[in-house]
Amino acid sequence: MKKVFLIVAFAVTSQFAVANNADQFKGLTITPVDQLESNQSEVVVNDKTFRTNGANKVVPGLDVFDESGFNAYTVTGEIIVKLSGDVDFEQFNKDNDLIIKQAYKEYYILKSQSNRDLLPLVDALKQLDGVSSVTLELADKGVIQK
């Protein structure tokens, strides 16, 4: 008798859960996968390929996704520069609307003050004499900030 009661209770509960879920999905639109893929663009940041939701420019605040689609990152607008010699950032920063946010030994963090495409800035920084490496900072959206 207990088994019959449990089976009936499970069946009723399952039907109730399905009915509630169906009501929750009313009014939602379904986008076909091929249409989603056509709305995506690819950008290369720090020598890695990421997907975006149609954006071709890498600007501060842009969300990018790795190729698997499981990891998401936000472009912070910060550019980490490692120097191997003397570099005068003053004129470069004025020309490109950047500020020096932080400096420690041979590392500088430059922050963009505008919503311009950051990839040309990264390429221009790589061409400067005395610059060893340039990395565009990405914040992992899977990490909860307190």
Distance CA 69, CA 66 (A): 5
**32-140 CATH fold:** Alpha-Beta Plaits (3.30.70)
Beta bridge partners of 80: 109, 135
Smallest CA-to-CA distance from 77 within 53, 106, 110, 50 is with 110
Phi, psi of 109 (to 5 degrees): -110, 115
Distance CA 96, CA 116 (A): 9
pLDDT at residue 84, rounded to an integer: 85
pLDDT at residue 64, rounded to an integer: 92
SS3 state at 27: coil
Distance CA 71, CA 140 (A): 8
**Higher pLDDT pick, 130 / 144:** 130
pLDDT at residue 35, rounded to an integer: 53
Question: pTM for this structure?
Answer: 0.68
**Higher pLDDT pick, 137 / 13:** 137
Three state DSSP letters for 47-112:
CEEEEECCCCCCCCCCEEECCCCCCEEEEEEEEEEEECCCCCHHHHHHHHCEEEEEEECCEEEEEE
pLDDT band, residue 130 (cuts 50/70/90)? confident
- Virtual CA dihedral for 127, 128, 129, 133, nearest 10 degrees? -70
